[in-house]
Structure formats: C-alpha cells, structure tokens
C-alpha cells in the first residue's frame, strides 16, 4: 500500500460528499451531520487541496465550489477543468464555438442522442429535469449495455462519443418519487417497468473522462500519484484509480450497485461509512497512515 502525503483530495459530489437529496449536511438516515464538512476541514488542516469532480454542469459546479471555498473543479464528467478561474476543455478540439454552438448542441446535431433513444426505446430516456439546460453532456437514465452502445455509435460513425455510467440513481429522484424507490421512475416515465435498476448515463466526447481531468489537474499542480486520493461512488469514479495513489468508494456505492464489487482492483478501497462520513473516513485514514 502506498504511503500517501495527502496533498490533494479529488471527490465526487452526488452520492459521495453530498448525502441523499444532494445535501451536504444530511446523512443516509436523513438526519443532520457534519461529517462531510469535517472531511473538508481535515484536508484544510493537513494542507491538502480539495477538488470536486462531478457530472453536473459547469454553472452548478462553480456555485458548489464557491460555496465550499474551493479554487478548482471538474465538471460534466471530466469534460472541463477549472484551475484558479482558468477553464480548460478536455474534449480534444470539440469545443463551444459561434459557428457550431455548445458541445451539447454539437452532440445533438450529430444525431447520436436520437439514435440511442430509438435503439434503446423503453430502456433509455432523458434524465429530466437534470438533463435540461446542459452545455456538454446529454444526460440519460435507464439501463443499457455500454459495450453495445459503443458498438452502435461506432457503426454510425460516431466513435468520437461515448456513454459514461454515472451510477445507480436514487437520491437524484427524490423530488420526483416522493420517497419511493428508484424504480418508481420507470413506472412514471417511458422506461420499461421491468428494468432491474435505473442508472444515469452521460453522452460525452470520447476523449473526456474524470481520470483524465484528475491527471491534468495533478500535472498543473505538480502532484505525484502518491500525493493524491480520490473518493467516489460510481464506475466512472473507479477509473481515477489509474491516476491517484488510492481510489476510495464510499460504502453506499456497493450497497446500491453490487456489480462494482467485481471491479475492485489494486489501489481501490471501500469505506465502512456512507456518503460524507465515508469521505471523512477516507481522509482521516489516509492522513493517519501517512503519519504512521
């Protein structure tokens, strides 16, 4: 196991730092908790930077980072990185322009969203209302095989795009389902009611990823892999293990998606606590091991 100096924490928002319903100060039992805040405070006391990464759009992640007092953030599942106010697109030339519009509009014009929705009718739909007003990714919910989706895009000449699995949706549905389980969304929408689970997917430029954004920030700051940890709750978050010393999954990640257990490899650890308490556990454990 790598002894980390803990110079930076990369942390996901929904399902990780934020509790059910997207609250910073609510735990899995819906009661108030300061565990997530304590995690940030522990990093500050140790002189470690905190960078949030999320599938949320830039405007939202900017406000989140401002509220948390952070200088850097990664948005739209790694499509963009902001370091000290400077934006860098990590989409390999697919960028907003006056002629072509936003990246979202360019993806829409390619016909890829229509192709996917038609091919996976009953299995995929826009993840409203969170899919609205986006600048980069097309956000869907449902259940599809990513390998078949990749093949479908490639066959259509759309290999410059990819589908990203951002995890099982539960807390995101709270305003719509009024406390019902995540499958309620299937009954209240165009999704088939027999889907065993409902997942969130981002359609983004293939070059972009959370791990690439994390690695780029590490390069900008001069961090080594042994200096950093990442904490998340999804399959895409697991990819950061290729860049950092340790990638942690919070306990609720496996509670919601047991299939992630088969993908735990070297450099990946699972916390015993969920949400913000899990982030706090990852941080204090890392700091203690570095001292020891």
CATH at residue 44: 3.40.50.1000
Total count of domains within the chain: 2
Only one residue has tokens 């200096």, namely 227
Task: Show which of 166, 182, 205 is a domain's final residue.
Answer: 205
How many C-beta atoms surround the C-beta of residue 22 within 10 A?
A: 17
Query: What tokens were used for 69?
Result: 């007092």
What pLDDT, on a 0 to 100 scale, did the predictor assign at position 290? 86
- What is the model's pLDDT at position 265? 87
Amino acid 190: pLDDT: 87
Give residue 182's pLDDT.
Answer: 46
Q: How many CB atoms lie within 10 A of CB 14?
A: 25
Answer yes or no: do 172 and 109 share one domain: yes
Residue 14 in 3-state DSSP? strand
DSSP per-residue string spanning 155-208 = HTT-TTEEEEEEEE-SGGGHHHHTT--TTHHHHTSSS-TT-S--EEEEEEETT-
pLDDT tens for each residue of 231-250: 999 999 999 999 999 999 99
**Whole-structure pTM value:** 0.91
Ranges of residues in the chain whose predicted pLDDT is under 70: 1-4, 170-188, 292
Position 170 scores a pLDDT of 62
Q: Which pLDDT does position 183 carry in this prediction?
A: 45
Please compute, for residue 256, the number of CA atoms within 13 A of its CA located in the half-sphere on the CB side.
Answer: 28
Range of the domain at 253: 8-90+208-291
């Amino acid at each position: 196991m790598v002894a980390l100096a803990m110079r930076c924490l990369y942390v996901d928002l929904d399902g990780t730092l934020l509790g059910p319903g997207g609250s910073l100060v609510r735990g899995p039992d819906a009661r108030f908790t300061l565990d997530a805040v304590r995690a940030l405070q522990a990093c500050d006391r140790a002189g470690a930077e905190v960078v949030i990464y999320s599938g949320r759009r830039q405007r939202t992640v900017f406000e989140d980072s401002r509220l948390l007092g952070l200088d850097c953030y990664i948005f739209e599942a790694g499509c963009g990185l902001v370091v000290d106010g400077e934006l860098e697109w990590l989409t390999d030339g697919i960028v907003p322009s006056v002629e072509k519009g936003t990246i979202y509009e360019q993806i829409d014009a390619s016909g890829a969203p229509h192709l996917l929705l038609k091919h996976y009718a009953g299995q995929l739909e826009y993840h409203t209302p969170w899919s609205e007003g986006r600048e980069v990714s097309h956000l869907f919910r449902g259940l599809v095989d990513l390998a078949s989706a990749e093949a479908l895009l490639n066959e259509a000449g759309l290999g410059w795009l990819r589908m990203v699995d951002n995890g099982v949706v539960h807390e995101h549905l709270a305003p719509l389902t009024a406390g019902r389980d995540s499958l309620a969304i299937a009954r209240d929408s165009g999704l088939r009611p027999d889907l065993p689970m409902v997942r969130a997917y981002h359609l983004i430029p293939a070059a972009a990823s959370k791990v690439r954004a994390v690695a780029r920030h590490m390069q900008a700051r001069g961090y080594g892999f042994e200096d950093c940890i990442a904490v998340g709750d999804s399959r895409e978050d697991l990819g950061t293990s290729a860049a950092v010393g340790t990638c942690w999954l919070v306990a609720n990640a496996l509670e919601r998606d047991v299939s992630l257990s088969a993908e735990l490899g070297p450099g990946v650890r699972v916390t015993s606590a969920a949400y913000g308490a899990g982030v706090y556990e990852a941080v204090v454990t890392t700091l203690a091991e570095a001292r020891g």
